[in-house]
Amino acid sequence: MNDIFEQSQMAGAVGQAAQSSAAAGYYLQEQEKGLAETQLEVETIITEAYHLLKQDFKYLKDGRTEWKTLVNQNERVLTEWGVQRIMQVINFYVNKNGLLSNYDEKQIDRLMLRILTELNDLMLLKYQMLFSVPSFEQCKALLKQRIEEKVNLKVFSQEILGLTPDADQIRKDLYSEMEYKVEKELEKIKQEQRKEKLREYGLIMAQLEKMFYDTLNRAFRGEERGSIRRHTNISEVIGNHPQIQKNDGGMFKWTKR
């Protein structure tokens, strides 16, 4: 009778151990799956790049990251087309396939040279489409602002000379002088503003260079997929070696006393 109960108890212990092992294996598989997905997740990088190219502001709201649109659109460096075009390049290179590749140092250097050369050519050949310029209304506002600055300067100059300045008359004279060159002045303002935006070119290239270089380095000698494989092997080793507690004597071990 004791032998029968010992065998029954042992079978139950084995079954329970097998069930525990299966549950532990499932947990490890899910944990490993979550680790791999987190390690290869690139959407956060791409989303952040998109907002930074649009010059949005990042802030925390209720523990979550939120993006706020740039208030003064006159400060935008890239056009919407420019942002989308650069994002196409980023999506092509920053992805899971790239992370799981196997590059040596020479391949990384060659890819970086090709990427930066093509980006440089794109910006130089299509800068008129990539970099934003003020609208007609914005140019008008800037022209009026400059005229007011000249009015204030002339008023101040006459006050220094002990004269009584007439701001309205000064403004009228300035508008009269500019009557036949308004279009030229507006175009001048437009080109000046574009040159200001083009000064951001070097910084944009440096930021993109770092993003691509970091991504390619993660694939250096297959380190990214090698890291995932190592985690998987560790999980398999742990999951395939359940520990079964040895039970001496069974329910009727008192009969052996």
Q: Got the DSSP string for 168-186?
A: HHHHHHHHHHTTTSHHHHH
For residue 14, the model assigns a pLDDT of 55
Walk along the chain (257 residues) and give the pLDDT tens digit of each residue: 666 555 656 655 555 655 555 544 544 454 444 555 666 688 888 999 999 999 998 888 787 888 999 888 888 999 999 999 999 999 998 988 888 888 899 999 999 999 999 999 999 999 999 999 988 998 999 999 999 999 999 999 999 988 888 999 999 998 888 888 889 999 999 999 999 999 999 999 999 999 999 888 888 877 766 565 555 554 444 455 544 444 555 444 444 44
Say how far apart CA 37 and CA 31 lie, in whole Å: 10
Say how far apart CA 257 and CA 129 lie, in whole Å: 94
Strand partners, 64: 61
**Full-model pTM:** 0.68
* Residue 59, SS3 per DSSP: strand
Helix (H) or strand (E) holding 199: none
Phi, psi of 61 (to 5 degrees): -135, 115
Q: Name which of 205, 47, 49 is nearest 131 in CA terms.
A: 205
Q: Report domain extents, the chain.
A: 134-199
Q: Name which of 96, 92, 90, 7 is nearest 52 in CA terms.
A: 90
What tokens were used for 160?
């220094």
Half-sphere exposure of residue 57, counting CA atoms within 13 Å on the CB side? 9
Strand partners, 5: none
Say how far apart CA 24 and CA 240 lie, in whole Å: 9
Q: Name which of 172, 175, 167 is nearest 151 in CA terms.
A: 167
What tokens were used for 222?
């297959």
Say how far apart CA 91 and CA 224 lie, in whole Å: 18
